[in-house]
Amino acid sequence: MASYPCAVFPEEIEPFVQSIRPYQVADIGSKGWIEQHEVLQKLCQQAFIEATTKQEEVVKEQLILEDKIPLLVHELYSVLVWRTEVLPRLLALKNPDASFVLYSVIYHEANVCSLLETVLYHRSGCEALGSNALDLIDYCAQAAGRLIGLLANGYNDREDDPPPDELLNESTAEEVVRMGRTMDFRIGVKSLGIVSYLVEGLDQLPLSAATRLVRVHDFPCLIAEVLHAKPWLRRNHEGVFEKYRNGSWIPAHGDAILKVTETEAQTWFCLYRLLFNGDLMRDYEINGYRHREIGKCVGLMNEQLLDQLPALIPLKQHLCTLQLTNEAGGGAGGSTASLLLEELPEVRERLVQAARRTGWDQIVEKQRKIFIDLEEHDVVEMAKRIGAAYNTDLLERYTEQEEKRRKQGQNDANAVKVCGNCGGSAAKKCSNCMHVYYCSRDCQLQNWTDHKELCRQLK
């Protein structure tokens, strides 16, 4: 039996989950908030390990049982409001002495986002969101918009891995801003997975969720823009292609450049579910702009993509039909009917109102002592606590184990990838039985007479 490291002991999970409570913007950086930051970091690590190793997902079940998933959405917005309203005011006061304390707050948002992505893979997680699903949809729309903006401004070309001389010359405030953009990228990528799960579990969400997805935020066009921006692919400073997988950039050579990443697949299936959901499309008017934006995705659906994701073939057919309809001057008009009573997101508004009652100046003055005017012993103590919470050694050991298993699986798979006709190296498998490989279409046709009966039996 395989053994895996654990970030949280089984008997700790329940009290950890029960301890989660909502914090206001003014409370960020307080002792209680830091303790909750540590708890959520450990729960995120444990949930990730449980999900990827096919263990019983105790963290997910406990979060649902204790009704804590809506609080995770609250935590997302709490840090987002802090980043947009408080952080710029703090950086304007003076150049901070230690950037990692500010970075821990920025990282908190990405950490909670990652935990939500793990939990919402299950329909029960989507159902547990309740009315906070509307707030999460708004959050993901903003995150995807920031991601598109980063890529449009060349983020993947130069900002994610700046040259060493730039790093040496930047101030602490500039470093914090740069790290904020890095978090925006990571959160944007994670939000694509979250939206995909929300669309898949749409029948578990409030009725207003469909309206916000297509009429308020126009997610079909938003997802189409992301697909064209390709956030999962870049060239590094040496001109080598890299693919974004599991939160890091991995060099890709040869055929590996064409391999679909998990995020890319999720984004494609998100577009598929949006366009093939009759309830959503009844509220969606396909005007000329949407025809063009969504229809352009057909150019991205090449043979290599469809070989890896054959379930997308109906989507390509649908997009081709959409283009023809547009050229013919037709269009699908969505219903103009709307809900007489519609729920609205309220988490962000409640947080902003509470902060305004306290006063932004009072919040900044209170947090100046936490983040800007730090004594040396405060910095050391904070570093120890945050370092213990992140527990990078644990994740490194786990990642090394998973990498060994993945490479072993690749070696085993590569050993049998020979052409069923000529015996040469093969990369494509029979789309019917999914067991026999061929090096080319010609070899497959030549072997069809012999393979036909076996193909039927294997299927």
Q: What is the pLDDT of residue 195?
A: 96
For the chain, the three-class secondary structure string (H helix, E strand, C coil) is: CCCCCCCCCHHHHHHHHHCCCCCCHHHCCCHHHHHHHHHHHHHHHHHHHHHHCCCCCHHHHHHHHCCCHHHHHHHHHHHHHHHHHHHHHHHHHCCCCCHHHHHHHHHHHHHHHHHHHHHCCCHHHHHHHCCHHHHHHHHHHHHHHHHHHHHHCCHHHHHCCCCHHHHHHCCHHHHHHHHHHHHHHHHHHHHHHHHHHHHHCHHHCCCHHHHHHHHHCCHHHHHHHHHHHCCCEEECCCCCEEEEECCEEEECCHHHHHCCCHHHHHHHHHHHHHHCCHHHHCCCCCCHHHHHHHHHHHHHCCHHHHHHCHHHHHHHHHHHHHHHHHHCCCCCCCCCCCCCCCCCCCHHHHHHHHHHHHCHHHHHHHHHHHHCCCCHHHHHHHHHHHHHHHCHHHHHHHHHHHHHHHHHHHHHHHHCCEECCCCCECCEECCCCCCCEECCHHHHHHHHHHHHHHHHHHC
Greater pLDDT, 164 or 81:
81
Last residue of a domain, one of 362, 379, 404: 404
Each residue of 441-454: pLDDT tens digit?
777 767 776 666 55
**Residues contacting 93, CB < 8 A, separation 6+:** 364, 368, 372
Q: What is the pLDDT of residue 406?
A: 47
436 shares its domain with 391: no
Residue keyed to tokens 């890319």 = 264
Domain of 194, in residue numbers? 10-284+344-404
Question: What value does the mean pLDDT of the chain take?
Answer: 83
Do residues 70 and 21 lie in contact, with contact meaning Cβ atoms separated by under 8 Å? no
Each residue of 16-61: pLDDT tens digit?
999 999 999 999 988 899 899 999 999 999 999 888 888 889 999 9
Q: Please report whether residue 366 resides in a domain.
A: yes
103 shares its domain with 191: yes
Q: What is the pLDDT of residue 386?
A: 63
Pick the range with the lowest mean pLDDT from 62-66, 85-89, 308-312, 381-385: 381-385
- Which region, left, alpha or beta, applies to residue 9 given φ > 0 means left and ψ of -120 to 50 means alpha? beta
Has residue 409 got a pLDDT over 70?
no
Does the pTM exceed 0.85?
no
Residue 329's pLDDT band (cuts 50, 70, 90): very low
Query: What is the β-pairing status of strands 248-251 and 428-429?
Result: unpaired
149 shares its domain with 51: yes
Each residue of 94-108: pLDDT tens digit?
887 777 788 889 999
Has residue 129 got a pLDDT over 90?
yes
Looking at the chain, the whole-number percentage of residues with pLDDT higher than 70 is 78
153 shares its domain with 206: yes
Q: Please report whether residue 431 resides in a domain.
A: yes
Greater pLDDT, 125 or 400:
125
Q: Please report whether residue 230 resides in a domain.
A: yes
250 shares its domain with 196: yes
Has residue 331 got a pLDDT over 60?
no
Residues linked to residue 372 through DSSP beta bridges, in sequence order: none
422 shares its domain with 400: no
Residue 163's pLDDT band (cuts 50, 70, 90): low
Greater pLDDT, 161 or 248:
248
400 shares its domain with 424: no
What distances in angstroms separate CA 243 from CA 249, 257, 420, 439, one per listed residue?
Answer: 5, 7, 31, 25
Q: Please report whether residue 293 resides in a domain.
A: no
Q: Please report whether residue 83 resides in a domain.
A: yes
CA distance 360 to 352: 10
229 shares its domain with 130: yes
CA distance 357 to 25: 11
* CA R_g for the chain: 24
Each residue of 62-87: pLDDT tens digit?
999 999 999 999 999 999 999 999 99
395 shares its domain with 430: no
Has residue 260 got a pLDDT over 60?
yes
What integer is the mean pLDDT of 146-154?
92
Looking at the chain, the whole-number percentage of residues with pLDDT higher than 90 is 49
What's the structural domain count of the chain?
2
CA distance 121 to 119: 5
Q: Please report whether residue 410 resides in a domain.
A: no
Q: What is the pLDDT of residue 94?
A: 84
Do residues 413 and 423 lie in contact, with contact meaning Cβ atoms separated by under 8 Å? no
What integer is the mean pLDDT of 274-294?
87
260 shares its domain with 366: yes
Q: What is the pLDDT of residue 113?
A: 95
Query: What is the β-pairing status of strands 437-438 and 248-251?
Result: unpaired
Of the candidates 46, 197, 207, 14, the residue with the CA atom closest to the CA atom of residue 115? 46
100 shares its domain with 243: yes
User: What is the CB neighbour count within 10 angstroms for residue 51?
Assistant: 17
